Homo-oligomer: A and B are copies of this chain.
Amino acid sequence: MLHAEVGLQLGTLALDATLDAKAGEIVVLLGPNGAGKTTLLRAIAGLTPLARGEVTLDGAVLDDVARGVHVPAERRPIGVVFQEYLLFPHQTVAENVGFGLRARGVDRVHARARALEWLDRFELAAYADARPRSLSGGQAQRVALARALAYTPRLLLLDEPLAALDASARGEVRRDLKRHLASFDGIRVLITHDPLEAIALADRLVILEEGRVVQTGTPSDVTQRPRTRYVADLVGVNLFRGRAKAGLISLESGSTLQSAEELDGDVFALIHPRAVALHRHRPEGSPRNVWRGRTRSLDLQGDRVRVAVDGELAIVAEVTPAAIRDLALAQGGEVWVSVKATEISVYHA
């Protein structure tokens, strides 16, 4: 059980966030650049002092500002993988990986043996006696990961551990990581920028924006009911906020959306890009929401194309490359947009 209530001010950042994580749980912290994710991690690790709040891990109080408790970083059973790796330049790769063991009193020979096992697992055995300086970016990050995993902390804090890994290695390391993380009952808090990764790894997502937790829940909670534009962008859906009355949603921009759901009050309206249809001419028939727009950009994503359309409502549609050809869509071109009322899901804001 990790319970962290962290309040502090650092430069322009006012961090005021609560993070809870249960044993066995993998919590993924997501948020835009500068949201304070790294700072929150550092506070939990004991590297940045709190101004308010408390941190407890498995019942042990690590920080309690009110009672003046502060356990120093080195006495917290917490492993950290830093965003900038921070491998010791004067030690070999194996010494780096063995450092945590040595610090815990394991003798040189055993520490080295265990380090070598870890390097093996990360396919870095050949670099055991190299200096970190001679590693590539991705290799360095894998060493940092191995270093934090090599002793077994009860809480692992990982700051974008997979960012510098190439796509092919990433899958494997992620599986390795998942496997290893699964093999002990510790708590894992992980920062990643990759929403796919977040969804794949997370038991629970915590979304941090400007120092505050704006949403938390299981990946499917969060992806199905995003509550901020940032999360919506992340998940790749269109999100609007407004006031609903008998199926008619008045948006802040002044436009309205017709939905099939009956929910009154302040609501979010979510539209999946797949549900947004594009037409060359004003469409006939059932869709209740129809407006004219202008394509702002086209983005190939895998085997689909995301089309951002400006207009009365700015919205993103997802279509097939074939549709692009059929519609003769181009940047800046005119287009009609339609969304069926049944495709708009509505939930309380």
User: Which residues from chain A sit less than 8 Å from chain B, CB to CB?
Assistant: 10-12, 30-35, 37-38, 83-84, 126-127, 130, 134-139, 142, 159-160, 163-171, 175, 193-196, 199-200, 230, 233-234, 297, 299-302
Q: Is the CB of A83 within 8 A of B164?
A: yes
Chain B residues, Cβ within 8 Å of A195: 167
Chain B residues, Cβ within 8 Å of A234: 167-168
Can you list 29 contacts pairing A with B, beta carbon distance less than 8 Å? A10-B134, A12-B126, A12-B127, A30-B166, A31-B166, A32-B166, A33-B165, A33-B169, A34-B135, A35-B136, A35-B166, A37-B136, A38-B137, A83-B137, A83-B164, A84-B84, A137-B159, A137-B160, A163-B163, A164-B193, A165-B193, A166-B193, A167-B193, A168-B230, A171-B299, A196-B302, A199-B300, A199-B302, A200-B299
Chain B residues, Cβ within 8 Å of A166: 30-33, 35, 193
Q: Is the CB of A130 within 8 A of B165?
A: no
Q: A12-B126, A38-B136, A137-B160 are in contact. Are A200 and B301 (CB under 8 A)?
A: yes
Chain B residue at smallest Cβ distance from A13:
B136
Chain B residue at smallest Cβ distance from A32:
B166
Q: How far is the CB of A188 from chain B (nearest CB, A)?
A: 17
A204 and B84 alpha carbons, distance in the complex (Å):
30
Q: How far is the CB of A30 from chain B (nearest CB, A)?
A: 8
A171 and B233 alpha carbons, distance in the complex (Å):
9
Contact of A130 (CB < 8 Å), options: B11, B159, B171, B230: B11
Chain B residue at smallest Cβ distance from A138:
B33
Chain B residues, Cβ within 8 Å of A160: 137, 164
Chain B residues, Cβ within 8 Å of A164: 33, 83, 160, 163, 193
A11 and B133 alpha carbons, distance in the complex (Å):
11
Q: Is the CB of A137 within 8 A of B297?
A: no
Chain B residues, Cβ within 8 Å of A84: 84, 137
Chain B residues, Cβ within 8 Å of A230: 168
Query: Which of A84, A165, A168, A195 is most buried by chain B, counting CB atoms within 10 A of its CB?
Result: A168
Q: How far is the CB of A227 from chain B (nearest CB, A)?
A: 14
Q: Is the CB of A200 within 8 A of B300?
A: yes
Chain B residues, Cβ within 8 Å of A127: 12
Q: Is the CB of A32 within 8 A of B169?
A: yes
Q: Is the CB of A139 within 8 A of B233?
A: no
Chain B residue at smallest Cβ distance from A12:
B126
Q: Is the CB of B12 within 8 A of A168?
A: no
Chain B residues, Cβ within 8 Å of A168: 32, 230, 233-234
A200 and B164 alpha carbons, distance in the complex (Å):
19
